Chains A and B, each alone.
Chain A
């Protein structure tokens, strides 16, 4: 099991450019999440999905879009990048682990800088 895989790990964008952060999980989890974490701060929920074809806004959705065409993939799209979107982005999926606990499994993160 690879768990949750995010690409790219690092990216520098110019203001106004767009890009997609990829997230894939191989645990067959229905619930998936995108968080952003600014330096020294906590995690803020951007969007989440409870299954293929179903997405909903979190705490800070402005400037982002998501889609969920398959159980495995949950890409996050940034349109018209702005310096305020400079952050580390974490994707996570939610499901039961081997002990029966309901656990969020996070990817390694994608560090995005907008200049």
Chain B
């Protein structure tokens, strides 16, 4: 199983760009990298997914270097509502057991 390592916590201010990096040194060829956001008392929800290079959607960007041993979630101009825990998950549909790392607790201040 691909093990992931993320910073335990990060602090930011409203309007700043936040970059959260995840390390996954033993990522397999078939694995995708997916990021989830979790608010207190809620289940995680999907943010973005990528395989290599850069992916962008309406809420975030995901940067994956050529060796794919790490990935960076970029949140542009964060707001208070972005305060949450962010998890990166490495796997693919055929990988049966999907296990999460400890996640990164992002605190956005005014």
Contacts and interface: CB of A to CB of B under 8 A. Distances in A.
A108 interface: yes
A104 B46 contact: yes
A43 B44 contact: yes
Given A102-B92, A103-B34, A43 B100 contact: yes
B26 interface: no
Given A104-B36, A106-B45, A50 B96 contact: yes
B44 A45 contact: no
A103 B49 contact: yes
Contacts of B44: 43, 90, 104, 106
Bin chain B's interface residue count: 20 to 34
A74 interface: no
Contact of A106 (B43, B92, B93, B103): B43
Interface in B70-99: 87, 89, 92-93, 96-99
B29 interface: no
Given A45-B98, A97-B46, A104 B93 contact: no
A75 interface: no
Interface string B27-65: 000001010100001111110010000000000000000
9 contacts: A31-B93, A90-B43, A90-B44, A102-B92, A102-B93, A104-B46, A104-B98, A107-B43, A109-B41
Interface of A: 4, 31, 33, 35, 41-45, 48, 50, 56, 58-59, 88, 90, 92, 94-95, 97, 101-109
> What are the nearest 6 A-B pairs in CB distance?
A106-B43, A101-B49, A43-B100, A103-B46, A42-B102, A90-B43
